[in-house]
Each structure stands twice: as C-alpha cells, then as structure tokens.
Amino acid sequence: MSKFNFKKTSIEGVYIIEPTVFGDERGYFMETYHAQEFKKAGLDFTFIQDNQSKSKKGVLRGLHFQYTKPQGKLVRVIKGEVFDVALDLRENSPTYKKWEGVILSEENKKQFYVPEGFAHGFLVLSDEAEFTYKCTNFYDADDEGGILWNDPEIGINWPVDNIEIILSPKDRQWKTLKESKIIF
C-alpha cells in the first residue's frame, strides 16, 4: 500500500499529494516525503533546502520564480489554510500561462508539488498560516523574478471575497507576464 495518493492535475508535472494519515485518540502520524514512493510516482528529484513562513490573513506571497536557477517546490500548510497556485511559465509547454490552484490546510494535510519552470504563490485564508516547502534548488535573491498576482491575462481565480490583500513592497512592483517577457 502506498503511503501517498499522487493526483495528477490538468498541468503536466503538477501534483496534489495526499499522505496517508494514521490517527487515534492520541493524535496522528504521517510521512510527508518518502524518496522511493515519490520516485515510483515519477517524481524523482533531490530536495536541498527547506523553508517555512508564517503569515496573517490576506497575505498574498507571489507569484515568484527564479530565472536561471528554478526551484521545484513541495509545499504544505502545518497551521491554518491557504489557496496555493502554480503558474506554468514553460514557453514550449502545451499549458503555458495556465495555472492550477488548491486549498492546503492543516486539516486536509494535502501537499502540492510545483515543478521547476513555474511561478508559485499563495493567499492566506485563515487568521494565520504556517507554510512549509522543500526546494530542489537554493534560493538566490539575485535570480528572483515575479509576476503580478492579478495579471488579467492569466486570470487566477483567487478566493478574495471579504479578504483585504496584503502584499510586500516587492510583490506590489511585479509586472504582468506580457510586460515581463519571461522565457523558460
């Protein structure tokens, strides 16, 4: 029996991953990553950096990517709830400019794999959220880029009803995909 349910999405390489959770009156246990299980599912890569962030409701982080040192990311929420998005920036991909979104929460324990060549972002839906991610490449501030979170050409359906969006100064200044002329 697999310890994970790997759900393919409409975009090649993007997966929603549901771990098997073992719970009883004491609490629960689950594996969040197992190299052999992931490899059997076709997800064969090496993670070299782990990150964690804490954000309050309405914080929108993204859409981020790295130009020459792209990162694959395995993301999950350990407290709260977010809407997480992967945007395909691979110009020769049949799903170029398409996005996939999923609710990640401490309750549903889902994970999301965002491959290299994608922009990534999330919106905090709960009062606060703690977000973790494993990366296939190191973060490099000099290589970082971004896409405007509400680029009308991309049309991400962010669940923003009754949420005041909070952006960092960096995330406020990103341009649209067309203006950015990004090529992977």
pLDDT (tens digit per residue) in 55-114: 999 999 999 999 999 999 999 999 999 999 999 999 899 999 999 999 999 999 999 999
Rounded mean pLDDT of 170-182?
91
User: What is the pLDDT averaged over residues 3-14?
Assistant: 96
Which residue in this structure is represented by tokens 């170029």?
96
Count of all residues that appear for the chain in the document: 184
Question: Model confidence over 28-38: pLDDT tens digits?
Answer: 999 999 999 99
Segment 122-167, tens digit of pLDDT: 999 999 999 999 999 999 999 999 999 999 999 999 999 999 999 9
* Known active-site residue 64: yes
- What is the spatial distance between Cα 96 and Cα 11, in angstroms, rounded to a whole number? 9
CA atoms within 13 A on the CB side of 119: 28
Structure tokens that stand for 147 in this block? 């896409």
133 is catalytic: yes
CA-nearest of 22, 24, 25 to 3 is 22
Question: Which of 64, 96, 113, 120 is an active site residue?
Answer: 64
3-state secondary structure of 169: helix
Domain 46-180 = CATH 2.60.120.10: yes
Residue 84: closest CA among 105, 55, 107: 105
Residue 1: per-residue pLDDT? 59
What is the C-alpha to C-alpha distance for residues 181 and 144, in angstroms, rounded to an integer? 14
Handedness of CA 130, 73, 37, 98 (dihedral sign): positive
pLDDT on residue 97:
95
Which parts of 104-153 fold into alpha helices (H)?
none
> Which residue ranges make up each domain of the chain?
46-180
**Cβ contacts of residue 66 below 8 Å, gap of 6+?**
137, 139, 140, 143, 144, 145
Q: For residue 114, what are the contacts with CB-CB under 8 A and spacing of at least 6?
A: 14, 72, 73, 74, 75, 86, 120
Residues 9, 170, 145: CA angle, nearest 5 degrees? 50
Q: Which two tokens stand for residue 88?
A: 């395909």
Q: Is 46 helix (H, G, I), strand (E, B) or coil?
A: coil
**Band of pLDDT at residue 180, cut at 50, 70 and 90:** confident
Instruction: From the candidates 28, 67, 133, 139, give the one annotated as an active-site residue.
Output: 133
